[in-house]
Structure 1
Amino acid sequence: MHKPEPAAYEHYYRAYIELVDQEPILEKLESLKNSTFKLLSNLTDEQANHAYAPGKWTVKQLAGHLIDAERTFAYRAFAFSRGQAELPGFEENIYVERANSNDRPIQDLAAELKTLREANLYMLRAMTPQQIETHGIANGHPIQVNTIVYQMAGHEVHHLNLLRDRYGIY
């Protein structure tokens, strides 16, 4: 897989894709799987129940959002690679509200995210070059499977940066 050129995707994907360096993307996803798991699973529930400001997500809710996004990005990549033409968007705040992440141990959330990523890496490694280049429409906007894979990594990096910068979690 190759890092998509900015002209190949909608401008609002740029913030995530620019966070991904030139490391091969599947290696980057593997690395993130391990580092994010280590970071989240080493937190206490007290740390994970923290929100950096009123009305903001707790660390557990942020972890739940990473799980929701991982599922969503992976399903988009899967569906488009198999010929599905269009999929709806998802309202992240409604998903977070209904996920009940605050009622779960942070270690369970960390393990679920790691397991999802492992399964998704199997799926991505099995895709042919033609499937990786397939396009679909997500949330009303055209996107290529390759771009979704980079979006998956960049989205995670974005939230890891928030954990560091706003939550004080390294």
Structure 2
Amino acid sequence: MKHTVNDGFPYYIELVEGKDYQQLFASKEAIDLLKSLRESKATYRYAPNKWSIKQIVGHMTDHERIMTYRALRFSRKDKTTLPGYDQNLLVENSRFDELSLSQLLNDFENVRNATLSFIQSLSPEQLKLTGMAWKFELTVEEFLKATVGHEQHHVAVIKEKYLSSN
């Protein structure tokens, strides 16, 4: 692995290198793992100032919404440079910890189903179109790979930091 999480999109894209990103989007592995957790576990933080599992789920959902919106714009040949976003601001101003894990997972699944529908609507030509978000110019397909790679990253963190130590 040549990138780190601090590199952003390149790191997430690298996480899915050699894998079928559409199959990763269709996989229920992350949802099944998260559905297996007790509600009490979902508020666990492995260290002070770290997000709870509920906050991670909400963040993954927000991130997928934002990335799919970007991919949509770029797939329609919109060349507007789109800004980045402050993930901490979005989590801090959410209600993720107040909602049940079930509600959060339902929202995540709804967003995922919309993403899958969007992906299925794209032509091979649209997947090759490019757009600029924050400081990254990527193809639509790369935005999608970065999106599912982001999920892969957070699921690995949940397994390593949240489920193995508590």
1:25 and 2:21 correspond? yes
Aligned partner of 1:148 in structure 2 is 143
- Offset, 1:25: 1.6
Q: Give the secondary structure class of the aligned counterpart of 1:60.
A: helix
Deviations 1:22-69 (A, max 9, x none): 2322112101xx112111222222100001100000000001100111
User: For residues 24 and 36 of structure 2, what CA distance do their matches in structure 1 show?
Assistant: 21
What is residue 15 of structure 1 aligned with on the other side?
A: 11
Q: Which residue in the other structure is 2:50 paired with? A: 56
36-45 or 94-103: bigger deviation:
36-45
Q: 1-side partners of 2:65 and 2:8: how far apart?
A: 20
Cα distance in 2 between the residues matched to 1:140 and 1:13: 10
Q: Please state whether the residue corresponding to 2:15 is helix, strand or coil.
A: coil
List alignment gaps of at least 5 residues for structure 2.
none
1:60, 1:106 within 8 Å by CA — same for their partners in 2? yes
- Counterpart position of 2:65: 71
- Deviation of 1:12 after TM superposition, in Å, equals 4.0
Aligned 8 A contact 1:80 1:135 in 2 = yes
Alpha-carbon distance between aligned partners in 2 of 1:121 and 1:93, rounded to the nearest angstrom:
26
Q: Cα RMSD over matched residues? A: 1.5
Give the SS at the match of 1:14. helix
Looking at structure 2, the residues matched to 154 and 68 of structure 1 have their Cα atoms a distance apart, in angstroms, of 14
- 1:162 alignment partner, one of 146, 157, 162: 157
Aligned mates of 1:61, 1:24 — CA distance in 2:
27
Assess if the C-alpha contact under 8 Å between 1:37 and 1:111 holds in 2: no
Match in the other structure for 1:3: none
Amino acid of the structure 2 residue aligned with 1:61:
Q
Q: Runs of at least 4 residues of structure 1 off by over 6 A?
A: none
Q: What's the TM-score, normalizing by structure 1?
A: 0.87
Gaps of 5+ in 1: 1-5
Quote how far apart the aligned CAs of 1:21 are: 4.5
User: For 1:115, what is the secondary structure of its paired residue?
Assistant: helix
1:81-136, Cα deviation, whole Å (9 max, x unpaired): 01221211110000011121000000111111111111111111111111111111
* One of 90, 97, 102 as aligned partner of 2:97: 102
Letter in 1 for 2:58: G
Q: Report the 3-state secondary structure (helix = DSSP H, G, I; strand = E; otherwise coil) of the residue aligned with 1:100.
A: coil
